[in-house]
Amino acid sequence: MGFMRKKSIEALIEQTSESRGLRKELGAFDLTMLGIGAIIGTGVFVLTGIAAAKHAGPALVLSFVLAGLACVFAALCYAEFASMVPVSGSAYTYSYATFGELLAWILGWDLILEYGVAVSAVASGWSGYFRGLLEGFGIKLPTALTGAYDPSKGTVIDLMAVLIILLIAFLLVQGVRESAKVNNVIVVVKVAVVLLFLIVGVGYVKPSNWTPFMPFGFTGVATGAATVFFAFIGFDAVSTAAEEVRNPQRNMPIGIIASLAICTALYIAVSLVLTGIVPYEQLNVSDPVAFALRYVQQDWAAGLISLGAICGITTVLLVMMYGQTRLFFSMSRDGLLPKIFSRIHMEKQTPVQSTMIVAGLAAFFSGFVPLESLAKLSNIGTLFAFIVVSIGVIVLRRTNPELKRAFRVPWVPLVPFLAVIFCGYLVISLPATTFVSFFLWLAFGVVIYFVYGRRHSNLARGARD
């Protein structure tokens, strides 16, 4: 059966030769900063308050531990694949070598949803923060330009969301080295802002605010974990950079694991301080971290937190759009998408046309379409990818034990199995409507595969030649 055909790891790696692929510019530090850039953003600056007030209470820290464990186990599996198959495409590429073309396409289609929804939704969030900053200086945009099309509110287009996406696209087109430099600077700023919150806030913590610790029971903690899981989405985007990394066998595992470890530690610290400053019932606000500092009359620090939130969301946009373009690049190179997505600019050595198309689509959706109902699709899409990659490690250890693995997941199959269990538990905590939307998206993708991808696949053409 054609859709079960697999791509050998040797063939995948051969595709990445310097003459045919992307320029190798990134080291372990750049990858770690890319991971932090993708992870610290909307999650810590927005979702912490909602999860504490509605689901977990002060036990929010346990929600972060639970979500973090799911990601740590999955990250170890990603690290083994990334060290063994240093090729763009993340879970899509790993599945092509392990399970075959159809499941690889489904994973790729799934990740298109994850990155696409994340870019559009995060751009809308960035727009809200930036408009707030402008209003602080007395600049107010016309109502028609402040939100997606909604006649009841008088909004037509979210202008700021469109502009930030186009600006990020322009930066990505210039080259991965330039993009990484900008990302590194902004990441330093936003980590400094998070540390500022911890340093200023810890002196205002009242242990009495941590009682009752688990007001909604463990069910609330689990629901909170499924909610804040969005805060961890992004470390998998590091693996899409594989072809632009120097010594990927060494640097990819370092980048994936280090970025996740740093962010998990920061999240746990923030959740403890946040719920220690403000009674959890009062945290159902759009800017909980800044709100907590205003709550204790530290308005000067709250202003800096808002600036840090803008920086944080900017790097999430940068890395998510980067991941989206590299995913399209990899799928197009395999023939499953039109060749325009894998054309490399001779001078800049970046997929310029693909980046412009991705930016155009994301700008349209963020500018004109309200995306609140789609946000949870990013969670289920990512969890699905984590589960498949974790199972893939077990399968490949059995089918190709002789492959060189620069990084090996310890205690296989226990660690991959734990990744599946934790991610699966978070999946069943998501609303039923999310499953319906997700399976409709996948069904649409399967139709596209059988109409276009199956016939245009490089493996299919090779079989016909």
Q: What is the DSSP string of 162-179?
A: HHHHHHHHHHHHH-HHHH
Looking at residue 280, what is its pLDDT?
A: 92
CATH label of the domain that carries residue 157: 1.20.1740.10
Is residue 15 included in any domain, yes or no? Answer: no
Is residue 12 included in any domain, yes or no? Answer: no
Looking at residue 370, what is its pLDDT?
A: 61
Is residue 22 included in any domain, yes or no? Answer: no
3-state secondary structure at position 221? helix
Helical spans, DSSP H, in 46-175: 48-51, 60-84, 91-98, 101-136, 159-174
Looking at residue 433, what is its pLDDT?
A: 80
Is residue 19 included in any domain, yes or no? Answer: no
* Contact of 406 with 83, CB cutoff 8 Å: yes
Burial class (CB in 10 A: 0-12, 13-18, 19+), 189: middle
Cα distances from 65 to residues 230, 236, 402, in angstroms, run: 14, 18, 35
Instruction: Provide the token pair at 255.
Output: 């980048």
Domain of residue 277, residue span? 28-464
> What residues form DSSP beta bridges with 158?
146
Structural domains in the chain (count): 1
Is residue 241 included in any domain, yes or no? Answer: yes
Is residue 422 included in any domain, yes or no? Answer: yes
Looking at residue 20, what is its pLDDT?
A: 52
Is residue 4 included in any domain, yes or no? Answer: no
Kindly report the backbone phi and psi dihedral angles of residue 461, in degrees, each rounded to the nearest multiple of 5, phi listed first: -65, -40
Q: Cα(first)–Cα(last) distance of the chain, in Å?
A: 17
* Stretch (H or E) spanning 220: helix 217-228
Looking at residue 176, what is its pLDDT?
A: 77
b (16+ CB within 10 A) / e for 119-134: bbbbbbbbbbbbbeee
Is residue 413 included in any domain, yes or no? Answer: yes
* Contact of 228 with 336, CB cutoff 8 Å: no
Instruction: List per-block mean pLDDT (blocks of 10 residues) for the chain, which spans 465 residues.
Output: 73 62 79 87 78 90 90 89 81 88 91 82 80 78 80 83 91 84 88 92 93 90 83 76 81 88 91 94 84 87 82 86 88 90 82 89 78 62 89 91 86 93 86 84 93 87 57
Q: What are the CB-based long-range contacts (under 8 Å, 24+) for 454-458?
A: 454/2, 454/3, 454/101, 456/335, 456/336, 457/2, 457/5, 457/101, 457/334, 457/335, 457/336, 458/333, 458/334, 458/335
pTM: 0.84
Looking at residue 465, what is its pLDDT?
A: 43
At which residue do the structure tokens 């308005």 appear? 299
* Contact of 275 with 52, CB cutoff 8 Å: yes
> Which candidate, 448, 463, 166, 435, places its Cα nearest to that of 331?
448
Cα distances from 142 to residues 139, 153, 159, 285, 367, in angstroms, run: 10, 12, 10, 24, 15
